[in-house]
Amino acid sequence: MPQSLDAALAYSNRWLDIIKSPVVTEAEGKAIIEESKHNFAEYFNRGWLDYRKSVTEAGDWAATEWTGEGAIFRDVLGREYIDCLGGYGMMDLGWGHPEVIAAVKAQLQRTPMPSQELIDPLRGVLARLMAEITPGDIKYSFFAASGTEAVEGAIKLAKMYTRKNGFIVAVKAFHGKTMGSLSMMGKADYRQPPGTLYGGPVYHVPYGDADAVERQLDICHKVGIDIAAVLMEPIQGEAGAIVPPDDFWPRLREMTTRYGVLLIADEVQTGLGRTGKLWGVEHWDVVPDILAVAKSLGGGVMPVSAFCANEEIWQVMMYPNPFIHTTTTGGGALACSAAIAAINVTLRDRLWEVAAAKGDYLIPKLKALAAEYPEIYHSITGKGLLIGQHFHDAEVGYKVAAGLFKRGVLVAGTLTSAHTIRIEPPLVITYEQIDAVLDRLADTLAEIRRKT
């Protein structure tokens, strides 16, 4: 379309007025829905509209989210939904946590972004906090905005420290979609379309199979292929909340140490309490060499991520070139203020214990429903509030998601398992809300059985 600066100015003015308006009428809300569908289809990604079958099949295109608090959000027409997706793990503290927002607002009034030349205190504060709360002797952190950036940094750090190029990762793994992280992806759908990815050797093994990891390490050692690191999720998120055998992570730690290979824990989705421990690896008392975290680190308010390591490994980030890895906007003051507040709330309220208790309440009830509907369910997996509902048929999963959405519950699928619908609510979801979700799920399953 031809450039039109006057039209862009007028359009931005109109939307600034909408953003600043405390109230949206029903007529305005309906207009926003139609405009949003048009804008996504014509200017962003039409496929996103097609993909959201759980919404469109519900017969009411209500995906124009507008506001929320806790585990409840409302669309632009004011209809309420219980959030059992949690922004794919971003909303551990719920929608618009007031203490996180207050910290960001206070920092915004001071300065939103640092000069990048002087020392900005909040970046140092957040780095110190990360050293206090991460496992073992992990001490240093670098901050970016997204999970894939954190994984990219972890990969780069492992390569620089070991001076090796190879990686061992898992089938169905999800580590992000930028080129280096995508090279570690465990599913062809995302790897093949871009063509050639990371140039070093990347070996995929079945997740949870420690023998397979050890065989691959042994083969690489015998044939002279250098492996920099084994990169794994403590619990696979996008594969459907897949929990490994209890000996998996301890064996990874032992064998990587024995072979002189680093162990990287991708805690982007599992970190900061989601699985019932502050860090996923703590279920097995394992300390990784490098840890990546994102999603909930910003408290659901600001995008912020980190990759972290111990002092010995971090030397290559500092000398001889302390600018070997930088980003202009990563670790900005607003992001750091949000992360500081999010960590404070998580520690004060011991949200990992909250997640563990609610998972212990919810998972057995989901398993009981699965036993009641064996023709629909394959299994229930997960820990804490990272839960996968696995179905025999991917289309049935979509019907479950659509049925729940019609009943005011948001869930979604996973990126590397077509037969799985996740349940990943904010950790602050109430037991009353959990019971409501279970009742609506039972009603949805009964409807599917009647129509089958």
Tokens of 276: 């019932």
Please state the three-class secondary structure of the chain as a single string: CCCCHHHHHHHHHHHHHHHHCCCCCHHHHHHHHHHHHHHHHHHHCHHHHHHCHHHHCCCCCCCCEEEEEECEEEECCCCEEEECCHHHHCCCCCECCHHHHHHHHHHHHHCCCCCCCCCCHHHHHHHHHHHHHCCCCEEEEEEECCHHHHHHHHHHHHHHHHCCCEEEEECCCCCCCCHHHHHCCCCHHHHCCCCCCCCCCEEEECCCCHHHHHHHHHHHHHHCCCEEEEEECCCECCCCCECCCCCHHHHHHHHHHHHCCEEEEECCCCCCCCCCCCCHHHHHCCCCCEEEECHHHHCCCCCCEEEEEEHHHHHHHHCCCCCCCCCCCCCCHHHHHHHHHHHHHHHHCCHHHHHHHHHHHHHHHHHHHHHHCCCCEEEEEEECCEEEEEECCHHHHHHHHHHHHHCCEECEECCCCCCEEEECCCCCCCHHHHHHHHHHHHHHHHHHHHHC
Last residue in a domain, options 317, 348, 379:
348
Q: Is 80 in the same domain as 216?
A: no
Evaluate whether residue 3 is within a structural domain: no
Lowest mean pLDDT across 41-45, 52-56, 92-96: 52-56
Say what the pLDDT of residue 64 is.
81
Mean pLDDT confidence for 4-33? 92
Q: Is 327 in the same domain as 438?
A: no
How many structural domains comprise the chain? 2
Q: In this predicted model, which residue has the larger pLDDT, 25 or 338?
A: 338
* Boundaries of domain holding 206: 99-348
Say what the pLDDT of residue 52 is.
65
Say what the pLDDT of residue 116 is.
85
Q: Is 38 in the same domain as 177?
A: no
Calpha distance 230→262 (Å, rounded):
6
Going by pLDDT thresholds of 50, 70 and 90, the confidence category of residue 428 is very high
Say what the pLDDT of residue 196 is.
75
Residue 413 near residue 421, CB atoms below 8 Å? yes
Q: Is 340 in the same domain as 384?
A: no
Say what the pLDDT of residue 413 is.
84
pLDDT over 70, % of the chain: 96
Say what the pLDDT of residue 141 is.
98
Mean pLDDT confidence for 141-162? 98
pLDDT surpassing 70 at residue 61: no
Mean pLDDT confidence for 121-138? 97
Residue 246 near residue 284, CB atoms below 8 Å? yes
Q: In this predicted model, which residue has the larger pLDDT, 441 or 413?
A: 441
Q: Is 181 in the same domain as 296?
A: yes
Evaluate whether residue 410 is within a structural domain: yes
The CA-atom distances, in angstroms, between 282 and each of 25, 157, 278, 330, 427 are 48, 23, 7, 27, 18
Q: What is the pLDDT of residues 240-286, one digit of tens each?
A: 999 999 999 999 999 999 999 999 999 999 999 999 999 999 999 99
pLDDT surpassing 70 at residue 53: no
Last residue in a domain, options 322, 348, 374:
348
Going by pLDDT thresholds of 50, 70 and 90, the confidence category of residue 189 is confident
Evaluate whether residue 10 is within a structural domain: no
Q: Is 57 in the same domain as 190?
A: no
Mean pLDDT confidence for 146-151? 98
pTM (whole model) above 0.85: yes
Say what the pLDDT of residue 57 is.
58
Evaluate whether residue 237 is within a structural domain: yes
CATH of the domain at 272: 3.40.640.10
Going by pLDDT thresholds of 50, 70 and 90, the confidence category of residue 200 is confident
pLDDT surpassing 70 at residue 363: yes
